[in-house]
Amino acid sequence: MRGRRRFRTALAAATAALLCGGVLSGCTAGDPEAAAPSARPTVRPTPSPTPLWDVSPASVAAVGDSVTRAFDACSVLTDCPEVSWATGTDTAVNSLALRLLGPEKVATRSWNLARTGARMAELPEQMAGAAAEKPELVTVMMGANDACRATPDLMTPVAGFRASFETALARLRAGAPKAQVYVASVPDLKHLWSTGRVSPMGLQVWKLGICGAMLADAEDLGPAAERRRAAVRDRVVAYNEVLEEVCAKDARCRYDGGAVFGFRFDGGQLSPWDWFHPSKDGQARLAELAYRRITKE
């Protein structure tokens, strides 16, 4: 009898081993933990992050200086905001606001807060005003007047320029934390000198004192005059480096990559009254540069 029981026990064990190994899954050899099915984590697809930059903002506030006010673009010594590259309504210019918002919304969904003659120290105040409108996009074009002083020694120091720009962005973020910012580079003032100095009208107007650090004695090609112009250009380059570096620290800020600095305005794109500020055609070119950068995916 004991022999038969041993035989049946051995036969049952062999059968169980055969079934577990060859047919059934999940069988155990007396290990209770092994009896549980293996735990496999559920893999869920990671949702794509929402991009911080919206290529079609629905409102625009513009801050800056005389270029954004389109000074001398329509008549002498006068602002002409209707042809502003940023918020103008003139279809011949096709401003940034017209391109983004359409003509029916420009009047109610765009604001031009720039001031002719403004320097970077004023930008924090302008930015606070822009933040109050809660715009989806703020355009910045500021810095030419910081270099365009009567003499190079009066130009805004780079450290002060940086501090004012950082403060301006902080003011905007305090009131409009999700507003996007487009920052245009400061134009190449030496290129404007080289273009306008061949115009008898330009030479006469510049004698009235426009941007003396660069444009004074425009026909003088001597070493001292060349060093003076080079110093102004170097300061503009330094300003642009500040704009790029500070903007890069803000996830919702885009610098133009030096597009305005590198643009070669010709005589037809400069005001016929001062050969310095952009004409209507020049304003249109600025609008195109901005639109291209802002709508880039």
Q: Hey, what are 253's tokens?
A: 């800020």
Q: How far apart are CA 151 and CA 296, in angstroms?
A: 39
Cα-Cα-Cα-Cα torsion 147, 153, 158, 160, nearest 10 degrees, comes to -100
Residue spans per domain, the chain: 60-294
Q: Is the pLDDT reported for residue 279 higher than 70? A: yes
CB 183, CB 253: distance < 8 Å: yes
**pLDDT band (50, 70, 90) for residue 41:** low
Q: Give the domain 60-294 fold.
A: Rossmann fold (3.40.50)
Q: pLDDT value at position 52?
A: 87
Q: How far apart are CA 233 and CA 33, in angstroms?
A: 76
In 133-279, which ranges are continuous DSSP H helix?
144-147, 158-175, 189-196, 200-206, 212-215, 223-248, 259-262
In 116-219, which ranges are continuous DSSP H helix?
123-132, 144-147, 158-175, 189-196, 200-206, 212-215
pLDDT digits (tens, 9 = 90+) for 86-134: 999 999 999 999 999 999 999 999 999 999 999 999 999 999 999 999 9
Inter-helix orientation angle 123-132/158-175, to 10°: 10
Q: Is the pLDDT reported for residue 15 higher than 60? A: no
Identify the burial level of 77 via C-beta atoms within 10 angstroms of its C-beta, where 0-12 means exposed, 13-18 middle and 19 or more buried.
exposed
